[in-house]
């Protein structure tokens, strides 16, 4: 037989599979209607387990894993179809989202904005890129930014969420859980770290370097080769200010070039980062949900059920609809051993019926919080 003959056989088999799939989903529809009438939950874990045991055994050892994947996908499609059938209409979350879309105007040019650190901090640089005329209030810690937004002192807050070299800013993720704030925009900022010291100080004089933990991680190769003492500060700009106000000639800070001008420091080196490709994502948070035109990303946090395949089932909801999960971050649940919450960033529009269906389904989970719909600027 020629290759085309085999392909013709596969086409015939596919036709049979499609007919059987349609027949199966028609039966699933009837199952969903029965469950709706008798108030029965969609998930039947024991039945799915029994089916997997039967069909994997029937296909033999060579195809066992493939059969498991095939039927796990079928189960996910079946549950999704049933949940859509059982849906009682537009969910509260979707109503809130659509209301926010209608009530949100154009992105403001003027605003009172909370930033962590001091003048010259990367958060300040990110703020100036997001807003044309911001009034910036500085806070010593990330939670101070959240509190300022929550209590109405500032309309918005700017926070780093992840770095291309050092990874996620886990403290901010944990605070997103604690405070009821929404993400309304994000920005990708190129980070260019410099080693700064007082005028007259040279690189060979440096015995100690101060900076935020993230900056120290991002410049780890340089610091290891230098053999200097490392001291963690809550913010790079505050570290630069500390160096400027000290009388020491053996200390330097890692911060932006802006800080050199602001605090009268000398740039000893602008090649201290591990990588030239060093970017940080900053988010802009608000107390209320604001969804501006062009929003093409959603963020939410949920806790997958403590059972095999639960995270896979969650991811499959997006995969089957062609939606890209661009970030998945896990954080431990306080007070529970080895149980985690999952933060999702998904490229999706809240105007899409598929997105609305998924959010309506997720809203029914034991734990789910929608954190915002927004666009990312550069």
User: What domains are there in the chain, each with its CATH number?
Assistant: 3-86 (1.20.59.10), 90-104+293-378 (3.30.70.260), 106-191+277-290 (3.40.190.10), 194-269 (3.40.190.10)
**Residue 71 scores a pLDDT above 90:** yes
Strands annotated E in the chain: 110-116, 133-139, 156-163, 167-168, 182-190, 194-197, 208-212, 229-233, 251-255, 266-269, 279-286, 297-302, 324-332, 340-347, 368-374, 376-377
- What's the whole-number mean pLDDT along residues 64-92? 87
Q: Is the model more confident about 168 or about 88?
A: 168
> Is 282 known to be catalytic?
yes
Residues 161-215 have pLDDT tens digits of 999 988 899 899 989 888 989 999 999 999 999 999 999 999 999 999 999 999 9
Three-class secondary structure of residue 178 per DSSP = helix
Q: Which of 139, 142, 222, 282 is catalytic?
A: 282
Cα–Cα distance measured from residue 176 to residue 365, given in angstroms and rounded to the nearest whole number:
19
Q: Which two tokens stand for residue 363?
A: 């809203």
Residue 89: predicted pLDDT: 62
- Percent of the chain whose pLDDT exceeds 90: 77
Residue 185 near residue 375 (C-beta atoms within 8 A) = yes
* For the ranges 51-55, 83-87, 304-308, the one whose mean pLDDT is highest: 51-55
- What's the whole-number mean pLDDT along residues 101-126? 96
Q: Is the model more confident about 282 or about 76?
A: 282
Q: What is the pTM of this model?
A: 0.84
Cα–Cα distance measured from residue 196 to residue 259, given in angstroms and rounded to the nearest whole number:
8
Alpha helices in 132-247 (DSSP H): 142-150, 170-178, 213-218, 220-226, 236-245
**Residue 83 scores a pLDDT above 70:** yes
> Is 280 known to be catalytic?
yes
Query: Across-strand partners of 330?
Result: 342
Q: Is the model more confident about 113 or about 88?
A: 113
Least confident of 9-18, 36-45, 177-186, 333-342: 333-342
Residue 120: predicted pLDDT: 95
Cα–Cα distance measured from residue 263 to residue 276, given in angstroms and rounded to the nearest whole number:
25
Least confident of 97-101, 113-117, 289-293, 364-368: 364-368
Residue 339: predicted pLDDT: 79
**Residue 64 scores a pLDDT above 90:** yes
Cα–Cα distance measured from residue 191 to residue 281, given in angstroms and rounded to the nearest whole number:
10
Q: What is the DSSP letter of 28?
A: H
Residues 6+ apart with CB under 8 A from 297: 186, 326, 345, 346, 347, 348, 373, 374, 375, 376
- What's the whole-number mean pLDDT along residues 12-25? 97
> For the chain, what is the radius of gyration of the CA atoms?
26
- Please state the φ and ψ torsions of residue 198, each to the nearest 5 degrees: -65, 155
**Residue 88 scores a pLDDT above 70:** no
Q: Which of 107, 131, 280, 318 is catalytic?
A: 280
Query: What is the crossing angle of helices 310-319 and 64-86, to 10°?
Result: 70
Residue 71 neighbours by CB distance under 10 Å: 18
Residue owning tokens 């990367």: 122
């Amino acid at each position: 037989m020629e290759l085309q003959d085999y392909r013709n056989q596969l086409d015939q088999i596919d036709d049979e599979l499609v007919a059987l799939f349609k027949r199966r989903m028609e039966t699933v529809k009837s199952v969903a209607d029965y469950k709706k009438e008798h108030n029965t939950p969609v998930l039947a874990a024991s039945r799915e387990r029994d089916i997997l045991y039967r069909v994997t055994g029937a296909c033999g050892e060579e195809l066992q894993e493939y059969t498991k994947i095939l039927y796990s996908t079928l189960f996910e499609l079946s549950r999704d179809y049933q949940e859509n059938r059982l849906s009682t209409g537009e969910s509260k979350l979707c109503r809130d989202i659509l209301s926010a879309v209608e009530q949100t105007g154009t992105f403001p040019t003027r605003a009172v904005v909370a930033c962590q650190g001091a003048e010259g901090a990367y958060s300040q640089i990110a703020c100036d890129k997001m807003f044309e005329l911001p009034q910036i209030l500085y806070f010593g810690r990330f939670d101070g930014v959240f509190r300022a937004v929550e209590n109405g002192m500032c309309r918005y807050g700017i926070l780093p969420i992840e770095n291309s070299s050092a990874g996620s800013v886990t403290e901010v993720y944990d605070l997103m859980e604690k405070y009821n704030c929404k993400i309304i925009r994000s920005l990708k900022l190129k980070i260019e770290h410099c080693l700064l010291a007082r005028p007259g100080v040279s690189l060979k004089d440096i015995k100690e370097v101060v900076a935020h933990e993230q900056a120290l991680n991002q410049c780890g190769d340089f610091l290891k080769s230098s053999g200097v003492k490392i001291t963690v500060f809550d913010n790079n700009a505050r570290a630069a200010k500390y160096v400027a106000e000290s009388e020491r000639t053996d200390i330097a800070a890692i911060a932006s070039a802006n800080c050199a001008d602001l605090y009268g420091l000398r740039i000893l080196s602008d090649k201290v980062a591990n990588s030239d490709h060093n970017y940080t994502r900053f988010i802009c948070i608000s107390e209320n949900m604001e969804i501006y035109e062009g929003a093409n990303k959603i963020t939410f946090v949920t806790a997958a059920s403590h059972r095999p395949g639960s995270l896979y089932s969650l991811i499959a909801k997006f995969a089957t609809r062609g939606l890209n999960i661009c970030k998945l971050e896990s954080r431990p649940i306080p007070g529970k051993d080895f149980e985690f919450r999952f933060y999702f960033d998904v490229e999706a529009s809240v105007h899409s019926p598929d997105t609305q269906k998924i959010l309506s389904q997720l809203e029914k989970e034991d734990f789910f919080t929608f954190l915002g719909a927004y666009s990312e600027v550069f």
